[in-house]
Chains A and B, each alone.
Chain A
Amino acid sequence: MASKFLLVAQREYLTRVRKRAFIILTVLVPLLVVGFGLFVGKIAQSDETTEIVDVRDESGLNIARRLVSTPQLQFLPVGGTLAEAKRSFQQQQHAGLLYLPVGLSENDPQGVQFFGKGNISLGKESRVSTALTNAFAELKMQKSGLTQVQLDQLRAKVPLNSVSVDETGKEKDSNSGVTTGIASVLAVLIYFFIFLYGVQIMRGVGEEKSSRIMEVMLSSVKPFDLMMGKIVGVAAVGLTQFLLWGVLSWGASSIVLPLVMGPDKPAKTEVAAAPASGGSSVGTSSTTASPIAGAAAASAEQMNPAKRAGVVGSLFDMIGKLNIPIGTIVFGFIVYFLGGYLLYGALFGAVGAAVDDQTDTQQFMFPITMPLILSYIVGFSVILRNPDGPVAFWMSMIPFTSPVAMVIRLPFGVPAWQLALSMFLLVLGFIGTVWVAARIYRVGILMYGKKVTYKELSKWMFYKG
């Protein structure tokens, strides 16, 4: 009876949503997200500060002027003796001192020294070294007769434009970074949702069993309605929680972060307030961000707000422009999200019903969670790198692994027949596991004081009504 099923689902939902733990968790997680964002922001900030390296050039080769400064590293030619320079870089809190001695040979540059405060990080050393190498290369090229114009031309970067070609030969822009990002986020969402709320189903069944209310319930409700009501009710709890987390995280970060970071970063507010303008091209660091991107940028911490806003804005743009099939992703995500959850939810429910004691769940948990964990690990290590390979194909067909595996493949584009077959198999798998689970559930919930084995479980399949 549909109305009873709804009553059960409603109870499962309301009792959980009103729990203090739910409310606390719902409020706490966005705060943690914001706090984490702040933390990451501060770290990024400290990492992105420009470090100044003094250069005392006694070589007479004019290397100091050829050293190219980067956003992380700025070279500052200084005068005076080496001893004076050493003192002054420390006094001025500069990151280091690069010393080019007299008589430095351009062909065999020996004796260059780098003085740093305390230990010198590998990153800093390699940056200085790269700058030096480039400077020497340039010097030698110029000596061999190249003009400054020719040198500039040599330095030009080659922009690599990735183009993805689909089966029909259509060519589209491709951005593997964005695609990978979307795939990862979707897979993580599904994985955690199934785990977090699947376990809640199991606990819920266990509680009903240990509180001995099952028999009262069963004289009013069919076991199947009871199980499905619980699964659907818990799913609604999960969706509510995810939705609230999203909204609260967004809200909290857009309020808190500008307040915290705003005063000392005037550029940020400027960006957030920047008028919406159409698409910005990839990689530009202008302020051509849409308002939502501006807000997102405001929420997203960073030291370099203008650039970040540009990146976020362009990210939104790119998703629109690239061959990322948004319609298919959204549709597919919903199908695999629900299908995967129902499939695993039913199994978790069956485990809860089969055992008396929560501590006995381990032996049954393992075979259930293994395919899920496997699809997660393989998904990130193999499928993400080769979304059209045989591993990806097979894992996205098997119903136990397809929710994670196929969602990873979705942003890269999946042939329609594969998607259709995979969804068909998922539905079959879902019906199959629910059937099995309902039988285990039906027998298990009234079975007390018995240590259940797999052999026993398989017998339950064939018990009559």
Chain B
Amino acid sequence: MPSPTPGFILEARNVRKAYAQHIALDDVSLAVPEQSIFGLLGPNGAGKTSLIRIITQITAADSGEIRFRGDRLNPSHISQIGYLPEERGLYKKMKVGEQLLYLAQLRGLSRPDAVQRIKQWLERFELKGWADKEVENLSKGMQQKVQFIATVLHEPRLIILDEPFSGFDPINANLLKDEILRLRQEGATIIFSTHRMESVEEMCDSIALINRAHKVLDGTVRDIRNQFKTNTYEVEGVGRLLVAHPDFEVIEQKERESNHFYARIQLHAGTTPNDLLRFLIGQVQVQAFREQIPSINEIFIRRVRETMPETLQEEVA
């Protein structure tokens, strides 16, 4: 019996799920730290939604186990999880207030509590006057706000958002981001699931990359970047750059107008950026100097290329 790891709200261990035609998840293990924003990333069809449906208990894993705050996942956890699926919908003929009340009660919230919170949330999302309107009379943006409210009304400890920003206009997307950060501040853990990795990169504390039913990578965003960084620096400046030095290697160099240049220089082991700077200062006028940090998207592509090169083209297309 494995003991619960402290500090993780959710742990998946060796989860496997197969459908009639294909394997959706193959031996996937991951751990989501408490009070963090966790990105579940991967291309379409990688198995993200299958994993989420297991966590939300819509389906069950064939083997492996899920632990929620140390306990084996069971129906009593439903009230502690909020889920905004990619396929979101509402009862079109139902009034906004009644609908939220219904969904909150299904999540175990008492009626008076629900009524109170619905009022607060509608005010916060500027939907105050809409409680008695039927959902079909709302604009799409408003409906998405209502859906988000329905997801978080019961104050879940774990909030799972599947492609949360798809279909949101920039203003509402920012509103949503602010709310998500606030919810984490108040103690909730958020799992983002998306195939658009760049959209959540800046918000995530940790991530897991899934491809073709397998987890290919996980960890904190900082660790992963450090792990994948190549000690490459971008330099821009004025002058003629001539590098013939055993500690550095120029990967790319571009001459620009009026004696300007751009270069990417990789440091060899044991060399610090300061060594490079010192060398450069003696040669040219440095205008910009920064470490080249790989994006999660680049890391993903690189990682997939390493593990299964032959499938890369179609995967990341």
Q: Is the CB of B85 within 8 A of A215?
A: yes
Give Cα distance in the complex from A25 to B291, angstroms. Answer: 73
Given contacts A216-B150, A220-B103, A459-B20, A446 and B58 within 8 Å (CB-CB): yes
Cβ-neighbour of A212 out of B58, B78, B89 (below 8 A): B89
Residue-by-residue, is A200-220 near B (CB-CB < 8 Å gives 1, otherwise 0)? 000000011001111111111
- Could you jot down 9 A-B contacts, CB within 8 Å? A7-B102, A7-B105, A208-B91, A216-B88, A216-B103, A219-B58, A219-B83, A219-B85, A465-B59
Residues in chain A near residue B119, CB distance under 8 A: none
Chain B residue at minimal CB-CB distance from A217 = B106
Q: Is the CB of A15 within 8 A of B93?
A: yes
Quick check: is B60 within 8 A (CB to CB) of the other chain? yes
Cβ-neighbour of A464 out of B62, B75, B147 (below 8 A): B62
Within 8 A of A (CB), among B182-196: none
Within 8 A of A (CB), among B98-154: 102-103, 105-107, 147, 150
Q: Is the CB of A216 within 8 A of B91?
A: no
Q: Is the CB of B90 within 8 A of A464?
A: no
Residues in chain B near residue A215, CB distance under 8 A: 53, 58, 83, 85, 87-88
Residues in chain B near residue A212, CB distance under 8 A: 87-89
Cβ-neighbour of A219 out of B20, B56, B60, B62 (below 8 A): B56
Give chain B nearest CB distance to A398 CB in angstroms. 33
6 more A-B residue pairs beyond the given contacts A214-B87, A215-B53, with a C-beta to C-beta distance below 8 A: A212-B88, A213-B89, A213-B90, A215-B88, A220-B106, A446-B58
Give chain B nearest CB distance to A444 CB in angstroms. 13
Interface residues of A (CB under 8 A from B): 1, 4, 7-8, 11, 15, 19, 207-208, 211-221, 446, 448, 459, 463-465
Residues in chain A near residue B90, CB distance under 8 A: 211, 213
Give Cα distance in the complex from A463 to B17, angstroms. Answer: 12
Give chain A nearest CB distance to B93 CB in angstroms. 7
Q: Is the CB of A211 within 8 A of B102?
A: no
Give Cα distance in the complex from A36 to B92, angstroms. Answer: 37
Chain B residue at minimal CB-CB distance from A221 = B106
Count residues on chain B whose CB falls below 8 Å from chain A CBs.
Answer: 29
Quick check: is B57 within 8 A (CB to CB) of the other chain? yes
Q: Is the CB of A219 within 8 A of B75?
A: no
Residue-by-residue, is B33-68 near A (CB-CB < 8 Å gives 1, otherwise 0)? 000000000000000000001001111101000000
Residues in chain A near residue B150, CB distance under 8 A: 216
Give chain A nearest CB distance to B118 CB in angstroms. 16
Which 5 pairs, one residue from A and one from B, show the smallest C-beta to C-beta distance? A212-B89, A213-B89, A215-B85, A465-B60, A219-B56
Chain A residue at minimal CB-CB distance from B81 = A219
* SS of B interface (majority): loop
Q: Is the CB of B78 within 8 A of A211?
A: no
Given contacts A11-B102, A211-B92, A213-B89, A220 and B107 within 8 Å (CB-CB): yes
Given contacts A216-B88, A446-B58, A15 and B105 within 8 Å (CB-CB): no
Chain B residue at minimal CB-CB distance from A456 = B20
Residues in chain B near residue A11, CB distance under 8 A: 102
Quick check: is B94 within 8 A (CB to CB) of the other chain? yes
Q: Is the CB of B89 within 8 A of A211?
A: yes
Give chain A nearest CB distance to B146 CB in angstroms. 11
Give Cα distance in the complex from A221 to B78, angstroms. Answer: 9
Give chain B nearest CB distance to A354 CB in angstroms. 16
Residues in chain A near residue B78, CB distance under 8 A: 219-220
Residues in chain B near residue A219, CB distance under 8 A: 56-58, 78, 81, 83, 85
Given contacts A7-B105, A7-B106, A1 and B75 within 8 Å (CB-CB): yes
Give chain A nearest CB distance to B185 CB in angstroms. 24
Chain A residue at minimal CB-CB distance from B78 = A220
Residues in chain A near residue B75, CB distance under 8 A: 1
Give Cα distance in the complex from A377 to B165, angstroms. Answer: 56
Give Cα distance in the complex from A220 to B83, angstroms. Answer: 9
Give Cα distance in the complex from A463 to B18, angstroms. Answer: 10
Residues in chain A near residue B103, CB distance under 8 A: 216, 220
Give Cα distance in the complex from A4 to B68, angstroms. Answer: 22
Cβ-neighbour of B91 out of A4, A7, A15, A465 (below 8 A): A15
* Residue in B59, B90, B106 whose Cβ sees the most chain A Cβ within 10 Å: B106
Give Cα distance in the complex from A211 to B93, angstroms. Answer: 10
Q: Is the CB of B81 within 8 A of A15?
A: no
Give chain B nearest CB distance to A79 CB in angstroms. 77
Residues in chain A near residue B58, CB distance under 8 A: 215, 218-219, 446
Q: Is the CB of B85 within 8 A of A216?
A: yes
